[in-house]
Structure 1
Amino acid sequence: MQVRSTLGVLPAPILCDTPGSFPWSVFHERYPELIRKVRDASAYGPEHRARLDQLGEQIVSGVVGPPDAHWHDRDSWLRWCEPHVGKSWSETPFLWAENYFFRRLLAATGFFDAGGMRGVDPFGPFKSVELASAATDTLLTEFNELVTHTGEDEQAPALLWSSLQANHADLCFNLAAGVPSGPPSGTGLLIDDGAAVLRHLENSEPGQIVLVADNAARELLPDLLLIDHLLRRGLATGVELYVKPQPYFVSDATPTDVIAAIRRLTGFGGPAEQAGHRLWEALRAGRLALQCPDFFCAPLHLWEMPVELLEHFATASLVIAKGDLNYRRLVGDFWWAPTRPFREAVGWLTAPVVALRTLKSDVIVGLDPATVDSLDQDSPGWRCAGTKSIIQFGLSG
């Protein structure tokens, strides 16, 4: 399947090279602070702590080095690193640099090594705290009240909205910023195609839905509750939930995080508990399938996925892309005109697709010129502040 021809001429990639820009601040402020928090969150020994400190220095003032000789995925990373080795981190594309940073962070913490920290999620403490938090209790209580006091037809839009709103629970965004992990006030929905998404599901033959997950813990719960609703109402014959095969971008969900989230549901009581048990049964029956291809931890856009995976996505009745990172990979982390039509940007994917995203980086498409002008004038930094959201839907063809 050839998709490159559908993309047109790609604009310049978003780089990390402009002081004061969002990508620059990520590598000079956010990630050094994240390294300090990871360093202190687990019982890392002197060697691991020294590696983390070295990584923190490299991303600010050092140059990109090749992957370590013992990496199990070294061949792939050699290929991906080739254009960038020897450059300063600031000279590299933002999407690539973030991916390589998190791969190097796993190496620094010994995640793949034979020692005692093998397989220990460096972000696990943060995920566990959030999953057990009072804010998560509140979310599940609100879900129980929704199911108790509304009809099923009213629940679908509420669950879609909840899945979007939970995207504010981004640990990478909040840990480094030093703010609570609750949703900020004044969040504005710039594009709301939610009704079109629901019409598509209700008017189409039920099929396999693909949900590309973003964050674990509190954000993952509304995703799972939405999946349960889609299966229970017969709006999907099955759901494939794509998560990361290893810890990634702090809060990104892994299979372990999915299991923990379902257990949280089954232990809560009421409709949330019932939904949790249905999800267990859906996993056992194969109607809910966890998928974690290595590709999803690669520094690539979604149109660069292996051909067989791309062809599989094309057969979905709906692809749901959650979160900011998946949006960047879906439309391309380039300086697109913000008015570029969304359907044109995702024309490489022939399946219907909806993006549920809180804006936390520069790339955006599908806005009208008046909205862009107003936001640029009245809300400087609106693209990256985490205060604007979108439900963006595009049909194939």
Structure 2
Amino acid sequence: MTEQAPVIISSESPFATDVFVKRHPALVERILGAWPLGPEQQQALRNLSDENVSGVMERLPAGAPAADQWQAWGRDYYGKPWTEAPFLWAESFFYRRLLNAVGYFGEGIWKGVDLFAPFKQAELAGEVVAAEVRALGHLANLADDDRGQALLLSSLWGNRADLSFQIQAGRASEISGLVADDSDDLWKLLDATRGGSLAIVADNAGSELIADLVLTDHLLASGTVGEVVLYVKPTPYYVSDATIADVADCLRKLVAVDGAAREVGERLRGAAAAGQLCVRTDPFFCAPFDFTAMPDTLRTQFASASATILKGDLNYRRLVGDRWWDPTVPFGQVTSYFPGPVAALRTLKSDVVVGLEPGTLATLEASGAAWRTAGTHALFQVS
């Protein structure tokens, strides 16, 4: 792996600073408005919100699950403002504190309750997902390559998936907003390992997970891969991140709709029963580190796959490291540690990016747009 760039500290990034002083307090208010939380829970959440804005980072309470582990992980950051810690680390710890504040890990009635479920379910019941499932019937008329590319774009863009599904032909390079496009390399990789095992590390629930599942069905049904291992988060995380419950919700959504969507859902259930679709998780997916720190068990699993696809912005930050890289540093150079071929499908929603052509970078920088963080640009990258 290449020489490391400096880690992104939140105070050094206007975007990251806003996450703590604006986005997290807004999220706390949404949660307070969505659940009948008791006075102690409400106070704990408001304290966490205030702490993010103007206080210092506090430890997990003594006796909280994994408190000793987090104490060791964060010993350099406690007692300091949240924005003085590495962005990736502090964001992860915020969600751990959030769950602890309402008793997610305790023995009461709030044990295991996904605080973000109302927001995920609202998206699943919304028009974007409805447009996705309606559009599935049109895909049958596409050539196999064009169908696969349309589904790949849907998986990439997430909440713009309804637009991607309706692409009748054309390659990803013709779609506006792509800052890097290795999609042809991804298809070549999958063809070269045809019938092998593909690992997909999911990102968001809702429309994006629907798109991931439909892409999975296509890859299995076409024989492009013989097995898909879908990795999800072990606990609720980053509001919209997918858990096993979200996979089940999406499958129920598909089979509840007549036509092509139901056929997809039923094939996926059959694939799961046959061992061709496996859903897994690992505590590391909610740890505050990048993938260079992955445990040996997870490294072995990725090494056994013919290829791994990492979805979304957070997984990208964890893959390349949440660092101030020169954007033209090659993607393959910073991901050479990964135990096997790896692809990133990511909509840009944070500062870090690598693997851009100098000309592309110059054009983006000259545009004056917040192209790194606004979610208007995306990339396919393969190593």
Structure 1 residue 168: Cα displacement: 5.5
- 1:53 is matched with 46
Work out the percentage of aligned pairs sharing the same amino acid.
44
- Of 108-117 and 133-142, more deviation after overlay is shown by 108-117
- 1:259 is matched with 248
Q: Structure 1: which 4+ aligned runs deviate by more than 3 Å?
A: none
- 1:159 is matched with 151
Q: Distance in 1 between matches of 2:296 and 2:277?
A: 23
1:245/1:168 Cα in 2 relative to 1: closer, same or farther (>3 Å)? farther
2:4 counterpart (10, 22, 25): 10
Structure 1 residue 144: Cα displacement: 1.9
Aligned counterparts, 1:1-397, within 5 A: 7-18=1-12, 21-147=14-140, 149-166=141-158, 188-394=177-383
Q: Distance in 1 between matches of 2:137 and 2:72?
A: 49
- 1:176 is matched with none
1:289-326 Cα distance to aligned partner (Å, 9 max, x none):
11111110000111211112112212211100000000
Structure 1 residue 55: Cα displacement: 0.4
Structure 1 residue 151: Cα displacement: 2.9
Q: Distance in 2 between matches of 1:142 and 1:224?
A: 15
Aligned AA (2:69): S
Give me the CA root mean square deviation: 1.5
Q: Distance in 2 between matches of 1:295 and 1:386?
A: 26
Aligned AA (2:135): E
Q: Distance in 2 between matches of 1:45 and 1:251?
A: 24
* Alignment check: 8 A CA contact 1:206 1:317 kept: no
- TM-score when normalising by structure 2: 0.93
* Alignment check: 8 A CA contact 1:209 1:240 kept: yes
* Alignment check: 8 A CA contact 1:167 1:358 kept: no
Structure 1: gaps spanning 5 or more residues: 1-6, 170-185
Q: Distance in 2 between matches of 1:121 and 1:350?
A: 32
Q: For 2:264, what is the secondary structure of its paired residue?
A: helix
Structure 1 residue 50: Cα displacement: 0.7
1:266-298 Cα distance to aligned partner (Å, 9 max, x none):
011211111101111111221111111111000
Structure 2: gaps spanning 5 or more residues: 162-174
Size of the alignment, in residue pairs?
370
- TM-score when normalising by structure 1: 0.90
Aligned AA (2:290): H
Q: For 2:150, what is the secondary structure of its paired residue?
A: helix
- 1:178 is matched with none
* Alignment check: 8 A CA contact 1:303 1:310 kept: no
Q: Distance in 2 between matches of 1:259 and 1:205?
A: 27
Q: Distance in 2 between matches of 1:33 and 1:187?
A: 31
Q: For 1:49, what is the secondary structure of its paired residue?
A: helix
* Alignment check: 8 A CA contact 2:313 2:349 kept: yes
